[in-house]
Chains A and B, each alone.
Chain A
Amino acid sequence: MTDTAFDTAPAVDPTAMKVSDEVAIEISNMNKWYGTFHVLRDINLTVNRGERIVVAGPSGSGKSTMIRCINRLEEHQAGKIVVDGTELTSDLKNIDKVRSEVGMCFQHFNLFPHLTILENCTLAPIWVRKTPKKEAIETAMYFLEKVKIPDQANKYPGQLSGGQQQRVAIARSLCMKPRIMLFDEPTSALDPEMIKEVLDTMIELAQEGMTMICVTHEMGFARQVANRVIFMDQGQIVEQNEPEEFFNNPRSERTKLFLSQILGH
């Protein structure tokens, strides 16, 4: 679908990016229901530190729900999720701890419209991490520079383009110095020319060794950055493989069907 948007991106050699043996996220036998609807069925997934995982699958397959369980925006009802050694239970202290270690970017950015870009970025460090204001501003400017919008720092989110807003959202998460980043379709609300700028930012993050789980339909991104692609359907993980194998040699029928639809073959 969007391979083209990616043609000009710098080539990345996935093998160059290190994956350690240390486990960052461990999901075992996780199940979730919305009322009587069984959205996630027996999910097992282990993510090592430094891994870059792309989650794909048809609409309604539970991709968002799964990654939202990782920072407890959704509650799972059975099984176990351990993030960075902390198990997610209903204990609020653990939840806030995990959330401050795990950054998340949303499809609709979810920036705070009443705060400037800079305030968006310094808010959580100041209130959650208790960073002194001056230091928080320095960090924020550093990351805004990194996503290439330091000159917009004093504007409001409503004054920025979609691509810029999504990059601000990434910078806002990075200001918390997270060890894991979750992306839920970060480019699907964007125009094609903005997709690239956001993906570039994400590639850069991957190259620096960030542990990432990314729900996306950007198959070009998956090929270049991911070291594992996970395919979900009907609330289950149907197939997971290295990107080359996944795209060139899909095993299950569902995956084949999905790929043929999404790649337009």
Chain B
Amino acid sequence: MSNTHADTVLYVRDTMLPQSEPPASTIGPAGWAKQNLFSGWLNTLLTVVSAAFVVFLLYRLLPWFISPTWGSDSLSSCRALFEEIGRDHEGACWGVIRDRWQQLLFGFYPAELYWRPILSLILLMVALAPVLFVGKVPAKMLIFSVIYPFMLPWLLWGGTVWMPIAVIAGFGVGYLVFKLVAKVGPGGLAAIVATLATVLWWLFLTAPVAYGLASVLPLALEPVASRQFGGFMLSVTIGVVAIACSLPIGIVLALGRRSDLPLVKWLCVGFIEFIRGVPLITLLFVASVLLNIFLPPGTNFDIILRVMIMTTLFASAYMAEVIRGGLAALPKGQYEGADSLGLDYWQAQRLIIMPQALKISIPGIVSTFIGVFKDTTLVSIIGLLDPLGLANAIRADTDWNGIYWELFLFIGAVFFIFCFSMSRYSMYLERKLQTGHR
């Protein structure tokens, strides 16, 4: 083969080119706009049309929105104000928010006790911090996260401090029973007996023990009745409980559904499919009306508690399916890797399978959370005063008869803040868990 070709392509660069700026049309705001808004006639058209639409909306809405009615104390005084300043169109009557914001937040909770829900909310943040920001917050704070669920009802409903302590003691009782039975019998039996003992303790001994101790050492907060609960406090309480409980229950249901034991499997499938096949409203009606028929007369089974249970069950069924999706996405090799090292079922689930399955399911899990939180507004249908229920109640007042948008906007804005933070958090978590993997 001749090398004439190689001769003709011989080339040596003798001056090196300096680094130069990219063309001005591709950088800076102008470059961005050109690339993203005006790249081609279709995009340009869409940009112009959308911009026109936004301008139109603002043009119609802003005048209504900007309205000097913060001080008014009734709808009629708003109207009088408009007349006075000669506005030819109606505006928003923001006075209702100033007048009733406390009610929208706390319902009919006694005003002098507002510190209790506020403290609960602050402590909620403290309890969530070590869970949400693993590694950034000292892990020791998890102890508080474990205690918080028992503190919350006490802070909100009040009563003797011995009640939550007696409830916590139930776990101690369960643990002791487990240790005792495990010494003589198999672990499975011990677990069943211990669970039974704990439940029995809660059902029959917690109240007498708590009241007994209370009579010796009366440490108590002023009790607040459930019917005084309302507003966002109610939504957040139900939402947080349902969210916090649905994740572990969902995990158990998802594992159960994939179990090899037919009884466990069919129980879980039955539960999940039943709950998913029934609207939440139906479950809430069951909670508010039907349960009373089945419960022995005279039992005082708190309505909010009943609603919490129903919402939790509802959320758990959906959660189970979301997590099952994550489990199904894991390659079989992960199970085999864990098995081949001698990890037992629960170790494998906890250390290998769940961390990965949950990571895959984060978007679905958070969607379920957001859905559950928004669904708490349905409790207004059974007469609980969540923000929407309160909006009706406020309208029933002659002062504010006929006011809609201002309340809905306010409620919507608060819900948006909660839901948007959840969705941002999920994005943060996904990014954080992404590092280093594939």
> Shortest CB–CB separation between residue A166 and chain B, in angstroms?
13
Q: Is there contact, CB below 8 Å, between B359 and A114? A: yes
**Which of B336, B340, B356, B436 interacts with A159 by CB under 8 Å?**
B436
Q: Is A33 an interface residue (CB 8 A)?
A: no
Q: Is B347 an interface residue (CB 8 A)?
A: yes
Q: Is B339 an interface residue (CB 8 A)?
A: yes
Q: In the complex, what residues of B have CB within 8 A of residue A108's CB?
A: 331, 333
Q: Is there contact, CB below 8 Å, between B342 and A124? A: yes
Q: Is A6 an interface residue (CB 8 A)?
A: no
Q: Is B352 an interface residue (CB 8 A)?
A: yes
Q: Is B344 an interface residue (CB 8 A)?
A: yes
Q: Is there contact, CB below 8 Å, between A158 and B342? A: no
Which one of B333, B336, B340, B343 has the highest number of Cβ atoms from chain A below 10 Å of its Cβ? B340
| A73 and B336 in contact, given A96-B344, A114-B437, A127-B347 (Cβ under 8 angstroms) | yes
**A71→B340 CA distance, assembly (Å):** 7
Q: Is B334 an interface residue (CB 8 A)?
A: yes
Q: Binary interface profile of A, 60-88, with partner B (CB < 8 Å = 1, else 0)?
A: 00000000000101000000000000000
Which one of A92, A109, A110, A155 has the highest number of Cβ atoms from chain B below 10 Å of its Cβ? A110
**A143→B438 CA distance, assembly (Å):** 24
Q: Is there contact, CB below 8 Å, between B436 and A176? A: no
Q: In the complex, what residues of B have CB within 8 A of residue A172's CB?
A: 341
| A128 and B347 in contact, given A73-B340, A111-B337 (Cβ under 8 angstroms) | yes
Q: In the complex, what residues of A have CB within 8 A of residue B217's CB?
A: none
Q: Is there contact, CB below 8 Å, between B341 and A99? A: yes
> Shortest CB–CB separation between residue A112 and chain B, in angstroms?
6
Q: In the complex, what residues of A have CB within 8 A of residue B339's CB?
A: 71, 73, 99
Closest to B359 in A: A114
> Shortest CB–CB separation between residue A34 and chain B, in angstroms?
15
Q: Is B22 an interface residue (CB 8 A)?
A: no
Q: In the complex, what residues of B have CB within 8 A of residue A221's CB?
A: none
Question: Would you list which residues of chain B between 392 and 438 have a CB under 8 Å from chain A?
Answer: 433, 436-438
**A127→B342 CA distance, assembly (Å):** 9
Q: Is there contact, CB below 8 Å, between A113 and B438? A: yes
Question: Would you list which residues of chain A between 51 and 67 have a CB under 8 Å from chain B?
Answer: none
Q: Is there contact, CB below 8 Å, between A156 and B341? A: no
Q: Binary interface profile of A, 125-144, with partner B (CB < 8 Å = 1, else 0)?
A: 00110000000000000000
Q: In the complex, what residues of B have CB within 8 A of residue A71's CB?
A: 339-340
Q: Is B351 an interface residue (CB 8 A)?
A: yes
Q: Is there contact, CB below 8 Å, between B337 and A156? A: no
Give the size of the chain A interface in residues (CB under 8 angstroms). Answer: 30
Q: Is there contact, CB below 8 Å, between B436 and A100? A: no
Question: Would you list which residues of chain B between 347 and 392 have a CB under 8 Å from chain A?
Answer: 347, 351-352, 355-356, 359
**Which of A97, A111, A127 interacts with B351 by CB under 8 Å?**
A127
Closest to A92 in B: B344
Q: In the complex, what residues of A have CB within 8 A of residue B355's CB?
A: 114
Q: In the complex, what residues of B have CB within 8 A of residue A112's CB?
A: 334, 337-338, 352, 356
Q: Is A50 an interface residue (CB 8 A)?
A: no
**A112→B438 CA distance, assembly (Å):** 11
> Shortest CB–CB separation between residue B330 and chain A, in angstroms?
10
Q: Is A243 an interface residue (CB 8 A)?
A: no
Q: Is there contact, CB below 8 Å, between A124 and B334? A: no
Q: Is there contact, CB below 8 Å, between A124 and B341? A: yes
Q: In the complex, what residues of B have CB within 8 A of residue A111's CB?
A: 337
Q: Is there contact, CB below 8 Å, between A123 and B341? A: yes
> Shortest CB–CB separation between residue B338 and chain A, in angstroms?
8
**A12→B406 CA distance, assembly (Å):** 85
Q: In the complex, what residues of B have CB within 8 A of residue A158's CB?
A: 436-438
Q: Is there contact, CB below 8 Å, between B341 and A100? A: yes
Q: Is A235 an interface residue (CB 8 A)?
A: no
Q: In the complex, what residues of B have CB within 8 A of residue A109's CB?
A: 333
Q: Is A163 an interface residue (CB 8 A)?
A: no
Q: Is there contact, CB below 8 Å, between B337 and A110? A: yes
Q: In the complex, what residues of B have CB within 8 A of residue A104's CB?
A: 340
> Shortest CB–CB separation between residue B143 and chain A, in angstroms?
21
Q: Is A186 an interface residue (CB 8 A)?
A: no
Q: In the complex, what residues of A have CB within 8 A of residue B352's CB?
A: 112
Q: Is A103 an interface residue (CB 8 A)?
A: yes
**Which of B331, B336, B342, B359 interacts with A100 by CB under 8 Å?**
B342
Q: In the complex, what residues of B have CB within 8 A of residue A97's CB?
A: 342
**Which of A102, A106, A114, A116 interacts with B337 by CB under 8 Å?**
A106
> Shortest CB–CB separation between residue B189 and chain A, in angstroms?
15
Q: In the complex, what residues of A have CB within 8 A of residue B334's CB?
A: 110, 112
**A99→B337 CA distance, assembly (Å):** 11
Q: In the complex, what residues of A have CB within 8 A of residue B341's CB?
A: 99-100, 123-124, 128, 172-173, 176
Question: Would you list which residues of chain B between 156 and 211 have a CB under 8 Å from chain A?
Answer: none
**A118→B27 CA distance, assembly (Å):** 44
Closest to A104 in B: B340
> Shortest CB–CB separation between residue B361 and chain A, in angstroms?
14
**Which of B340, B347, B356 interacts with A113 by CB under 8 Å?**
B356
Q: In the complex, what residues of B have CB within 8 A of residue A110's CB?
A: 333-334, 336-337, 340
Q: Is there contact, CB below 8 Å, between A124 and B333? A: no
> Shortest CB–CB separation between residue B168 and chain A, in angstroms?
28
| A155 and B333 in contact, given A123-B341, A123-B351 (Cβ under 8 angstroms) | no
| A156 and B333 in contact, given A96-B342, A100-B342, A128-B343 (Cβ under 8 angstroms) | no
> Shortest CB–CB separation between residue A93 and chain B, in angstroms?
9
Q: Is there contact, CB below 8 Å, between B342 and A156? A: no
> Shortest CB–CB separation between residue A2 and chain B, in angstroms?
24
**A99→B437 CA distance, assembly (Å):** 28
> Shortest CB–CB separation between residue A157 and chain B, in angstroms?
8
**A104→B336 CA distance, assembly (Å):** 10
**A209→B417 CA distance, assembly (Å):** 64
Give 8 CB contacts A-B under 8 Å.
A71-B340, A73-B339, A102-B340, A110-B333, A110-B337, A114-B437, A116-B436, A124-B343
Of all A-B residue pairs in the complex, the 8 with the closest CB atoms, nearest first, are: A100-B342, A110-B337, A158-B438, A124-B341, A156-B436, A110-B333, A99-B342, A104-B340
Given contacts A112-B352, A113-B356, A123-B343, 13 further A-B contacts (CB under 8 A): A73-B339, A96-B342, A96-B344, A103-B340, A106-B333, A111-B337, A113-B437, A128-B343, A158-B438, A172-B341, A173-B340, A173-B341, A176-B342
